[in-house]
Amino acid sequence: MFVDSHAHLEMSQFDADRDAMLARADDAGIETVIAIGSGTGPGSLDCAIQLASREKAGEPRIYATVGIHPHEARLATDADFDKLNTLARHPKVIAWGEIGLDYFYDHSPREVQRAVFLKQLELARTARLPVVIHCRPSADSQNAWDECLRILAEQWAPSGLGGVLHCFTGMMEHARRALGMGFMISFAGNVIFPKAQNIRDAARELPLDRIFIETDSPFLAPVPHRGKRNEPAFVREVARQIGELRGVAAEEVAFHTSQNVYRFFHLPPASNPGAPIPAQSGRAAR
């Protein structure tokens, strides 16, 4: 059984076959998907909640996040923050994100990215939600990592809420600093892209109880699907690749990464959906 810890299920790339795509995920043994709610920015902030409300038989369970991606930071208004604050209370919302810094594309000015990141950390702390972090430095630089981890250390670590470094592309040292702040590290299909030796090192060496796997669908399709649209069923391939790096079976990676997601977010195991949520769960306890 697999958990895809990060997918953009609402994107238009899935408009033609969303039902079939989710049915394929179920057939492939994907029992839970975390739908990332940053959408295309303000105006679509409830997109993941809508998907998480489907609860259709023959599809994976879907949980949601809410947040404004650094790409769209320049569009964020106070009204959007108010809206997020309300949406964050929805029972299917388990995290705030993806938020962070993207100095590779610079779709929003960096000072605006930082301000919107800080504002959302503050809102997430109030909502008692862990955060899903997107961090991408400029080419041949670690600038966004240094800054993002400094902000998290100063502004977030004291909350004790932790979070996820999604689609990890940093160095081992970055991963270790994040682990020290209660973060989980999530790996996507780029783990075997030729230039990604640092990602492979992290995927091989980090403790198995601290990692997630994800697709980041519809982006970043893993080999052998590279260049095509990605979808949650392909998270199996990420498990297989990490298993190969670590010298363990894909099933073992699948089992641990699924348990890690359920434990971190206090979710009941999908194979027993009626089971009560563990006692220490709920926002008050996080």
DSSP annotation of 217 reads B
Min separation Cβ 79 and Zn ion, Å:
24
Min separation Cβ 273 and Zn ion, Å:
26
Q: Among the candidate windows 20-28, 93-101, 125-133, 228-236, which touches Zn ion by CB under 5 A? A: 93-101
- At 192, which amino acid appears? I
Spatial distance between the Cα atoms of 151 and 129, rounded to a whole number of angstroms: 17
In terms of CB distance, is 10 or 98 closer to Zn ion? 98
Q: Among the candidate windows 125-133, 213-221, 254-262, 274-282, which touches Zn ion by CB under 5 A? A: 213-221
Q: Among the candidate windows 42-50, 131-139, 242-250, 258-266, which touches Zn ion by CB under 5 A? A: 131-139
Q: Which residues of 145-183 are buried (b: 16+ CB within 10 A; e: fewer)?
A: bebbbebbeeebbebebbbbbbbbbbeeebbebbbebbb
Identify whether the C-beta of residue 87 lies closer than 8 Å to the C-beta of residue 126. no
Min separation Cβ 283 and Zn ion, Å:
23
**CA-based nearest residue to 259, from 9, 69, 17, 31:** 31
Q: Is residue 134 at the binding interface for Zn ion, with CB under 5 A as the rule?
A: yes
Spatial distance between the Cα atoms of 108 and 117, rounded to a whole number of angstroms: 12
In terms of CB distance, is 117 or 244 closer to Zn ion? 117
In terms of CB distance, is 34 or 242 closer to Zn ion? 34
In terms of CB distance, is 216 or 237 closer to Zn ion? 216
Q: Give the footprint of Zn ion on this chain (CB under 5 A).
A: 98, 134, 216
